[in-house]
Structure 1
Amino acid sequence: MTEHNGYTTRLQNLLDRWSAGDEKAIDEIIVHSQEQLRRIASRMLSAKPHVGRWNLTDDVLQNALIRLHRSLKAVKPDSKRAFIGLAATQIRRELIDMARSLYGPEGRGRHHKSDPGQADPDGNAHPLYEKADPADDVINQLEMVEFHESVDMLAEDEREVFKLIFYQSMTQSEVASLLKVSERTIKRRWRQARLSLKRILGSDEK
């Protein structure tokens, strides 16, 4: 993830103004960070093709920004690290709600039937691609929702590292620099976070 000193300096200035009670700063924070948050939303959405099939990045971003605006009314992050963490959480929650809506009992993702392909000479239509079992599709999506919700159950230091690497595509070196700890510490927290998730989800994988 590329760092831009101008972006970070401006963001910190806006966060300081918001913490000091400047009501106008909150909207400026949203506008200033929109492009970076769009990139985060795009990365998260690309990891969830069954949600991305029905929603564009800007759909996710728009709803997540509404969530973020509400959150900023209650929480005043004092650094870029805290702000990006808060924003990424709102994007992730929006994706979870989208998955629930799409693959719940009345969801269009659960009941969707793919259009057939061109008919053969005998008039029989064939699917454009091999269609997966709809039941498996729903189960996979519900398991994915459970996985993302389980991330919030991790210990704070594990959760922060996991979110930065898994959701924001940061390297371990970049995370170490951001959190001002050694790369060895990040490797340890990243490994422990994955082991903790396996325990939470009841996996026997090593």
Structure 2
Amino acid sequence: MSDVTRILNEIQQGNRASANELLPLVYAELRRLAGNRMRQEAAGQTLQPTALVHEAFLRLVGDAAVEWDGRSHFFAAAAEAMRRILIENARRRKSAKRGGDARRHPISDADAIADAIADADDLDDLLDLDAALTKLAADEPALAKLVELRFFAGLTIEESANTLGVSVRTVTRNWAFVRAWLGREMKSGEKD
């Protein structure tokens, strides 16, 4: 059992002091995930990778009801927490009282995910991506988790396969499918 898994088990059993031991062990990896994600964010982003890591960590260890199934589960949950934090931040920035005027831009089917937030001024695309991902999660939770791991956490195909417990070939095939699906879904959302 790795130190991370042992400490996660202790936290789960109510030992909050173990959270102090966990952060140094996972901080570098969480910082790398946040850095990958933040490189895709808008240039004027006020949220920094360090703040994203700290907020995600607090959400993860602050919930005593979570049962961690090891290191992979923890990092998958971290990817989801980072996604939620970034979506919440985008919604705050977009809100009318903060001057967020909506603009839409076409997204190519070929690279829907990368293009979704490429424009520094376009928060609608990020919110559309979140809506499409939520819809996907209702029907295909494994594919939605793959998008979170690849896009929001910045994991490679191999790392995603390891985290999901499937083959690299399955992840590669599913990644191609989900990118095309998201492209079509987000494109159809523009007509609404």
Question: TM-score band, normalised by the shorter chain?
Answer: 0.7 to 0.9
Kept after mapping to 1: 8 A contact 2:76/2:163: no
- Report whether the alignment pairs 1:145 with 2:127: yes
- Report whether the alignment pairs 1:40 with 2:22: no
Q: What are the superposed Cα offsets for residues 80-111 of structure 1, whole Å, 9 maximum, x if unpaired?
A: 1111111111111111111122221122666x
Residue 78 of structure 1 corresponds to 69
Q: Which runs of 5+ in 2 are unaligned?
A: 102-118
Structure 2 CA distance for aligned equivalents of residues 74 and 16 of structure 1: 12
Structure 2 CA distance for aligned equivalents of residues 74 and 109 of structure 1: 36
Q: Normalising by the residue count of structure 2, what TM-score does the alignment of the two structures yield?
A: 0.72
Structure 1 CA distance for aligned equivalents of residues 157 and 146 of structure 2: 9
Structure 2 CA distance for aligned equivalents of residues 107 and 90 of structure 1: 24
Counterpart among 82, 96, 111 of residue 105 in structure 1: 96
Structure 1 CA distance for aligned equivalents of residues 13 and 150 of structure 2: 31
| 1:110-129 matches, cutoff 5 A | none
What code does the residue aligned with 2:57 have?
L
Residue 59 of structure 1 corresponds to 51
Structure 1 CA distance for aligned equivalents of residues 59 and 53 of structure 2: 10
Q: Secondary structure at the match of 1:39?
A: helix
Structure 2 CA distance for aligned equivalents of residues 149 and 83 of structure 1: 24
Residue 176 of structure 1 corresponds to 161
Q: 1:149 to 1:14 in 2, by over 3 A?
A: farther
Residue 78 of structure 2 corresponds to 87
What code does the residue aligned with 2:175 have?
W
Identical aligned residues as a percent: 24
Q: Which of 1 and 2 has higher RCO (CA within 8 Å, sep 6+)?
A: 2
Q: 1:177 to 1:137 in 2, by over 3 A?
A: closer
Q: Secondary structure at the match of 1:153?
A: helix
Q: What are the superposed Cα offsets for residues 115-139 of structure 1, whole Å, 9 maximum, x if unpaired?
A: xxxxxxxxxxxxxxxxxxxxx975x
* Residue 141 of structure 1: how far off its partner (Å): 0.6
Q: 1:31 to 1:107 in 2, by over 3 A?
A: farther
What code does the residue aligned with 1:60 have?
L
- Report whether the alignment pairs 1:190 with 2:171: no
Counterpart among 4, 29, 32 of residue 22 in structure 2: 29
- Report whether the alignment pairs 1:14 with 2:7: yes
Q: Normalising by the residue count of structure 1, what TM-score does the alignment of the two structures yield?
A: 0.68
Kept after mapping to 2: 8 A contact 1:164/1:170: yes
Residue 61 of structure 2 corresponds to 69
Count of matched residue pairs: 169
